[in-house]
Amino acid sequence: MLFLLILFIGSILFVRKGAPHAGDFGFGMASMLAFVITVQLFSTRAGQFMGGCILPPVVCIYILFDFISHDAKTRVMGLFVWCKTHWQVLVYSCAGMLFFGYVMEWRDLLPRGTDCVHHAIISQKILNTFALCPDWEPFAATQVQYPQGMHVLLAALATIFHCAIPKAEQILQTALYVPSALLIGGLGAKLFKSKAAGWFAGLTFVFLGNAGTFFSMWAWAGYPSMIGFLLFSALVWYALLPQPMIRDHAAAILLWTSFALTHHMTLLTSLVVLPGWAVIYFATHTTLTRRALIRMFGTGIPAAVLAILVNPRLIQIHSSGDTFHLTSDPMTTALHMLELLGLPLAGAVFGMVYAKKTLKSKPEKAALGLMLAWFLCPFLCFLITEYGIRLYTLYFCEEEFTWFAPTRFLAASAIPLSIFSGGAFVLLIKRFGNPRRVMYLLSVLVMVVGMVRYAIEFPSQPKQDDTIRLAEEVKKFTPENAFLLYDSENLPDPLWLPVLSWRACVLAPLPASEDRTEMRRTYHLFSKSDYKNESDLEKIRKYLSGRGLEPWFVYIDEEGIARIWKVNFQAM
**Does residue 13 register a pLDDT over 70?**
no
Distance between CA atoms of residues 255 and 306, nearest Å: 11
Residues of the chain with pLDDT > 90, as a percent, come to 11
Q: In this predicted model, what pLDDT tens digit does every residue of 316-363 receive, in sequence order? A: 665 555 555 555 667 787 777 877 777 777 777 777 777 777 777 777
Distance between CA atoms of residues 498 and 506, nearest Å: 10
Band of pLDDT at residue 61, cut at 50, 70 and 90 = low
Q: Which long-range contacts (CB under 8 A, 24 or more apart) does 143-146 make?
A: 143/515, 144/514, 145/317, 145/320, 145/321, 145/513, 145/514, 145/515, 146/122, 146/224, 146/263, 146/317, 146/511, 146/513, 146/514
pTM for the model stands at 0.87
Confirm if 414 and 309 have CB atoms less than 8 A apart. no
Distance between CA atoms of residues 501 and 496, nearest Å: 8
Instruction: Give me the phi and psi of 130, to 5 degrees please.
Output: 55, 30
Q: What pLDDT, on the 0 to 100 scale, is given for residue 358?
A: 74
- The residue with greater pLDDT, 298 or 424, is 298
Q: In this predicted model, what pLDDT tens digit does every residue of 392-440 receive, in sequence order? A: 777 776 656 555 678 888 888 888 988 888 888 877 777 776 666 777 7
Q: What pLDDT, on the 0 to 100 scale, is given for residue 402?
A: 58
Flag the least confident range among 276-285, 476-485, 555-564.
Answer: 555-564
C-alpha 504: how far from chain center: 27
Confirm if 330 and 253 have CB atoms less than 8 A apart. no
3-state secondary structure of 44: helix
Query: For 224-241, what is the mean pLDDT?
Result: 92
**Does residue 523 register a pLDDT over 90?**
no
Distance between CA atoms of residues 421 and 510, nearest Å: 36
**Spatial CB neighbours of 526, under 8 Å, sequence gap ≥ 6:** 485, 506, 540
Q: Give the β-pairing of 140-143 and 550-556.
A: unpaired
Distance between CA atoms of residues 124 and 130, nearest Å: 10
